[in-house]
Amino acid sequence: MSAPVDLRSDTVTQPTAGMRAAMAAAPLGDDVFGDDPSVNALQDKIAAMLGFEAALFVPTGTQGNLCAILAHCQRGDEYIVGQMQHCYRWEGGGAAVFGSVQPQPLDNQADGSLALAQIEAAIKPDDPHFARTRLLALENTIGGKLLPMAYVEQATQLAQRKGLSRHLDGARLFNAAVAQAAQAGSDPRAEARRIAQCFDSVSVCFSKGLGAPAGSALCGSRELIARARRIRKMAGGAMRQAGFIAAAASYALDHHIDRLAEDHALARRLAEGLGGIAELQVEPPQTNILFVDLVGPAQERSAALLDHLAREGVQATGLYRLRFVTHLDVDAAGVERAVAAIRRFFQVSGTRHA
Ligand SMILES: *Cc1c(COP(=O)(O)O)cnc(C)c1O
């Protein structure tokens, strides 16, 4: 039997031997004094990769988004954001709590985008009745979906025309870039830069598919990053010998971008393996996240299915909507194990695909 497989999230990866060696060898300083060479090198590397003047290393993606929103907006400003976006729904309302910045959430359409007409309609006139609309925040990938490049261009051009700043929650920007590069037959780094250049700021997670133990970067203009640095300090995110983790992130940028294509292929393979099970509706994955809905009476069985999977050494999350995420520590054998366990639960015999 293959080893247990953890499909809960791409955050669960362990640093590889190569990454640990890079961490152990990292030159260190005190990043609050600005002299940790490994942090500075990482910040320079990600800023240059994505085409920005500057970058700031932060402990988490949540803090990266918080620093971005508070650097773009003042008290009494608002940001337009999707209902399903992390920086509205999954960050404890931080921008409102710490920054007195009001969110203006809009429904995400099925493809993860915000309708252009709704964005335009949500922008408030300059009138004392209203919060000042200052920022548009998008997310790519969102729920594992790649926002179409043409849409990203249209939405960010609309925002610019209307005088709004533009922030991208690019926690999984490199998953988006790898998927887009596969469609376009181009290089993921070129696609990452193309997407990022539509925005005034971009946050990127190193601790998701890139496989580092912690850390994110916020990229933007020198001026924006200087403001974000103050906010990071207030939020308690200024670290000292942070070069240990910056070195892991830097290693990930050098070694773990192209391999995201393997995660995407395994997510597709998992989806194929679950095809033909009547109780399941499988959403074809675009990147490394697979959503599976239990349908009809099977909806009652999601907790039982997750328990069954856990007993079979397969971890996943979700209640009505099951979520399986592939990553650096998942291989083909792990995916087969998950497929076999799910098919056993629904008493479907055999494996459907080669
Ligand atoms: C994971 C994630 C974040 C940040 O999460 P942290 O756990 O704070 O690092 C931000 N946005 C998206 C879309 C994410 O998936």
What pLDDT, in 10s, does the model give residues 314-354? 999 996 699 999 999 999 999 999 999 999 999 876 555 54
Q: Does the Cβ of 62 fall within 6 Å of ligand 1?
A: yes
Distance (angstroms) between ligand 1 centre and the Cα of 277 equals 32
Distance (angstroms) between ligand 1 centre and the Cα of 156 equals 21
Q: Does the Cβ of 143 fall within 6 Å of ligand 1?
A: no
Type of residue found at 68: A
Q: Does the Cβ of 61 fall within 6 Å of ligand 1?
A: yes
Shortest-distance atom of ligand 1 to CA 60: 9
Distance (angstroms) between ligand 1 centre and the Cα of 32 equals 24
List CB contacts of 130: < 8 A, sequence separation 6 or more. 124
Q: Does the Cβ of 82 fall within 6 Å of ligand 1?
A: no
Would you give per-residue pLDDT tens digits along the chain (354 residues)? 679 999 999 999 999 999 999 999 999 999 999 999 999 999 999 999 999 999 999 999 999 999 999 999 999 999 999 999 999 999 999 999 999 999 999 999 999 999 999 999 999 999 999 999 999 999 999 999 999 999 999 999 999 999 999 999 999 999 999 999 999 999 999 999 999 999 999 999 999 999 999 999 999 999 999 999 999 999 999 999 999 999 999 999 999 999 999 999 999 999 999 998 999 999 999 999 999 999 999 989 999 999 999 999 999 999 669 999 999 999 999 999 999 999 999 987 655 554
Q: Given phi > 0 = left and psi -120 to 50 = alpha, else beta, which region is 20?
A: alpha
Q: Does the Cβ of 134 fall within 6 Å of ligand 1?
A: no
Q: Does the Cβ of 169 fall within 6 Å of ligand 1?
A: yes
Shortest-distance atom of ligand 1 to CA 62: 8
Q: Does the Cβ of 286 fall within 6 Å of ligand 1?
A: no
Neighbours of 150 (CB within 10 A): 8
pTM score over 0.85: yes
pLDDT digits (tens, 9 = 90+) for 157-186: 999 999 999 999 999 999 999 999 999 999
Q: Does the Cβ of 170 fall within 6 Å of ligand 1?
A: no
Shortest-distance atom of ligand 1 to CA 65: 10
Taking the C-alpha atoms of residue 285 and residue 342, their distance in angstroms, rounded to an integer, is 18
Q: What's phi and psi for 49, nearest 5 deg? A: -60, -40
Shortest-distance atom of ligand 1 to CA 63: 8
What structural domains does the chain harbor?
14-255 (3.40.640.10), 259-345 (3.90.1150.10)
Q: Using CA positions, which residue lies closest to atom 3 of ligand 1?
A: 61
Angle between helices 302-311 and 332-345 (to 10 degrees): 130
